[in-house]
Amino acid sequence: MNEKENLLSLSISDFIQRLIVEKINKFYFVFDDKKKKLIASHQSLQPIADFFSKDKRDFIIHEGWFCKISDQFNMLLGAFVHRTNRGQAAGGVRYWNYDTIEDYFRDGLRLATGMTFKNALAGLWWGGGKGVIAHNSQHDKSDPKIREKIYSEYGAFMSSLNGCYVTAEDVGTSVEDMANVFSNTRFTTCIPLEFGGSGNPSVPTAKGVICGIEAALDFLHMGTLENKTIAIQGLGHVGKPLVEFLLEKRVKKIVGTDINLTNIKNLEKNFGGKNLECRLVDKNDISIFSEECDIFSPNATGAIINEETIPLLKAKIVCGAANNQLEDTPRDGKILLEKEIAYVPDFLTNRMGIVTCANEQYGYINNDPLIESHFSNELEHSIYNRAMQVLNESKNENKPASEIALQLANKLSKENHPIFGHRGKEIIKSLVENKWHLH
């Protein structure tokens, strides 16, 4: 086993211990345009950079990513930046458990890329980025005092990056957590309403998923959501309001799974007696994929649509809010196409979280057309219209919907911001010049 494999196979805690031994508190990986390769802040980490420079799955010429060991809890705080042509990198911060450091890096890279394409398809002048906090199982993540310290420190971490990445709420992070982030940085959105923020974006995100589902139903000439059966993986932030919207649409039945008992109890309390069946499952349980249903909606974590799970699907439509649903986009998109499953790419349909919070600085108006238009059939790049465009081109060209959406998003993401140009990349360059990792 070579050095890079040794490093990447380490658990998060073992990797952190290795950093501590080497007296490394902060580190980065930044793409060098001249050398056409990824450069690590520390020579001992260069094997990781070399590995990802050659990676064809998750490293898509990311401009860079920055990490720091938390001061008190031996957690890894990360900020991943993919492409900033359209503006500073924007995306939420995820608080999650990872088995290895490779899993952690890959998730951050995938999530950042997804935000680049999501923001571009939504017509936002923002680039793509993502924050990731790797949980340390020795600490209780439900303890408010611990969370306050973690997210306050993450806010300070954001400030140290000078705005190349602007954070927001994501899986494992609450509005209260965002208030703690905000206490130490201006480079955040999704802050609480009382601080002038847009608050929890989960409800509009769920509404956007409904738009994507309705586009797929129209594309397949399957009528409305009424009397349809939907299987939902993940009943948390987005899953709960999604259930409510679906019940309002008079669906026949909803079957949902979650790894969190609290989420299930909340749904049963609010919608008990309705056409809803909830099941508590283990982290790696995939039984929900085998449900007899019209629509499968993934709303938990990514990379769950793959060679193992696609053959289990009974649904004709896959549309949900989970980020980076396809484990291997070219491979899995092709399998979905061959199975004649209408797939609405996640970065197209789950945009409303970032749409509602990205431009908080411009203030709020009633029935804001800059937000509501994304739910309409009139705006050219609304969720419904983009979904119909992608599904129709997929059919006409016999190419996966994911491939069609990526081609369009990739093209749009390379347009430079009309005022600030490619400023995010210049911020990263300055961080490197200022030896960020040594301060």
SS (H, E, C) the chain: CCHHHHHHCCCHHHHHHHHHHCCCCEEEEEEECCCCEEEECCHHHHHHHHHHHCCCCCCCCCCEEEEEECCCCCCEEEEEEEECCCCCEECCEEEECCCCHHHHHHHHHHHHHHHHHHHHHCCCCCEEEEEEEECCCCCCCCCHHHHHHHHHHHHHHHHHCCCCEEECECCCCCHHHHHHHHCCCCCECCCCHHHCCCCCCHHHHHHHHHHHHHHHHHHCCCCCCCCCEEEEECCCCCHHHHHHHHHHCCCCEEEEEECCHHHHHHHHHHHCCCCEEEEECCCCCCHHHHCCCCEEEECCCCCCECCCCHHHCCCCEECCCCCCCECCHHHHHHHHHHCCCEECCHHHHCCHHHHHHHCHHHCCCCCCHHHHHHHCCCCCCCHHHHHHHHHHHHHHHCCCHHHHHHHHHHHHHCCCECCCECHHHHHHHHHHHCCHHHC
Q: Which of 180, 173, 178, 174 is nearest to 152 (CA)?
A: 180
130 catalytic? Reply is yes
Nearest to 351 by CA among 327, 317, 321: 321
Given 4, 26, 68, 130, the catalytic residue: 130
Q: Any idea which residues carry the catalytic annotation?
A: 130
